[in-house]
Structure 1
Amino acid sequence: MKDALARRETLPVVADSAVAPFTPAQLEERRIVRHDMADPRQADAFRDLRTQLLARANGAGVVTLVAPVSRGSGGSYVAVNLAAAMVFDETRTAILVDCNLRSPVLHDRLGVTADRGGLVDYLEGRITTPETILYGTGVPRLMLVPAGGRREASGDLLGSQRMRQLLHALRTIGNGAPIVLDAAAVSSAPDGRIVSELAELSVLVARYGRDSGSAVRETAAVLDPAHLAGVVFNRVP
């Protein structure tokens, strides 16, 4: 299938865009795929997922939600590696947004110290410029908007007009770079459903052997069927 992200994107230089890239050993330790892995199966799986999603949306600035069925299904793992696969080509960029305000992990996984604040700070109005919360990561050309703090009552923030404004701004800043949203488990909070209304595509993540077929169907029914791209089964033997 033809990769729909044919155009080349560039992101503006931000304060920490020159973060030292992870070594192959560090990527392996953090379970992040790279294009030249000795065993290419994981990288190929995410490359194929990337290509199919971008082809469905014609690639230009597509916003994709990644949401797990339940806690521990591996949603953040899939979100990070989908975004990492999007920058396998050295001429491409991608933006990852940590919308899991209940249990954010992406800043740790991607080696980001969110000293300028994050998504919560922007949505609560303490930060007014989106560029401030856009950080370089240990994966070259992959930018992160970290959560910036934990919020149990996060649905109102994620469904706010400021969240919509942020995504619009990131499309402009990224010159059409794809945006991946990592959300909390759909079965445990309304956040995934709320964020799905902001995305063109949604990917549901189920843990093989743990999330039952009925749980997957019930969770999928919560999301807009017109935008549901499919289900990724994580930890398949």
Structure 2
Amino acid sequence: MADQVPLNQAPDDNRQVVRRSEPLSLTPAQLAERAIIPYVDGANRQLVDSFRELRTRLLATSNDNFITLIAPVTEGCGGGFVARNLALAMTFDQARSSLLIDCNLRQPSQHAAMKIDTPRGGLLDYLENPDATVESMMYSTGIPRLSLIPAGRSGLGGMEIEHFSSFRMRLLLDSLRSSHADRYIFLDGPPTLGAPDARMLSELADVVVLVAGYGRNTVADITAAAGNFDPQKFAGVVFNENG
């Protein structure tokens, strides 16, 4: 990650939350296999600090736990990598937890990247099954205070639009946020250009972070992608070198 546009500043969040303690079951090598930045004995300090800085600026935008959409400009510019590591950075504070939701329904990647089997399905299965429970689609990642909701079954073509605008999707996010005051939700979104899905997801989010591929996306691409989002929600652009 090379740089990011400065985010707006706001008062710090001083709320009291319940602290949690979970064992770390992944080794630094296993974290690296999952394209999660291992931070052991000062390794990867510059890259880790970049995500810590982005996390701090996001926290300054609101006094409440919030929903952040991570939206790549185009496919292949590392939106999933940024979403995964930004969600991780939130958990560095033991008073906070993260939930990562894979909303890139056409090309889901988080379950494979994190090497998680999903026998119970995921987001799509929940949205299409009124009897499904929230707990059934949440998976442990092996990282303290970080959970994953995978995309679930694939092959829906263009039907994502109906899911992202559905009452059940909105109700899900409201429930996930209100049930834990210390939980910050990160949506790993689909590419912004070429389809309206990211824009529709942004209507459910409080903050939008755009991910541009360093040397991949042009200024015109980035400008066009940013134009899809409400300026009041748009936090800035992250230039990512990891595809």
Question: Does TM-score exceed 0.5, indicating one fold?
Answer: yes
List per-residue Cα deviations over 1:64-123 (Å, max 9, x = no partner): 000000000110000000000011123421111111111111112223211112100111
Residue 51 of structure 2 aligns to a residue whose secondary structure is helix
Question: Do residues 67 (structure 1) and 71 (structure 2) align?
Answer: yes
Residues 107, 114 of structure 1: 8 Å contact kept: yes
Aligned equivalent of 1:15: none
Which residue of structure 2 lines up, in the alignment, with residue 222 of structure 1?
Answer: 228
Per the alignment, residue 136 of structure 1 pairs with 140
Instruction: Answer whether contact 2:69 2:189 (CA < 8 A) is retained.
Output: yes
Change (3 A) 1:113 1:3: farther
Structure 2 vs 1, CA of residues 132 and 175 (structure 1 numbering), >3 Å: closer, same or farther?
A: farther
- Match runs of 1:115-194 below 5 Å: 115-150=119-154, 151-153=156-158, 154-194=160-200
- Measured at CA, do residues 193 and 10 of structure 1 come closer, stay the same or move farther in structure 2, by a change above 3 Å? farther
Letter in 1 for 2:157: E
- Structure 2 residues without counterparts, runs of 5 or longer: 1-8
User: RMSD value over aligned CA atoms?
Assistant: 2.2
1:108: which partner in 2? 112
SS of residue paired to 1:44: helix
Q: CA deviation at 1:132?
A: 1.5
Indicate how the Cα distance of structure 1 residues 5 and 106 shifts in structure 2: closer, same or farther if over 3 A, else same: farther
Match of residue 76, structure 1, among 41, 57, 80: 80
Percent of aligned pairs with the same residue?
Answer: 44
Secondary structure of 2:60's aligned partner: helix
CA distance in 2: counterparts of 1:159 and 1:10, whole angstroms:
34
Report if aligned partners of 1:65, 1:196 keep a CA contact under 8 Å in 2.
Answer: yes
CA contact (8 A) 2:91 2:98 kept: yes
Deviation per residue, 1:127-175 (Å, 9 max, x gap): 4321211111122210111111223221111111110010011113333
SS in 2 for 1:205: strand
Question: Does 2:17 match 1:8?
Answer: yes
Gapped regions of structure 1 (runs ≥ 5):
12-17
Provide the C-alpha distance between the structure 2 equivalents of 1:133 and 1:19, rounded to a whole number of angstroms. Answer: 21
Q: Specify which of 35, 48, 55 is matched with residue 43 of structure 1.
A: 48
Equivalent residue letter for 1:41: Q
The change in CA–CA distance for 1:79 and 1:7 in structure 2 (over 3 A counts) is farther
**TM-score w.r.t. length of structure 2:** 0.87
Matched to 1:65, the amino acid is L
Q: 1:127–1:43: structure 2 CA closer, same or farther, 3 Å change rule?
A: farther
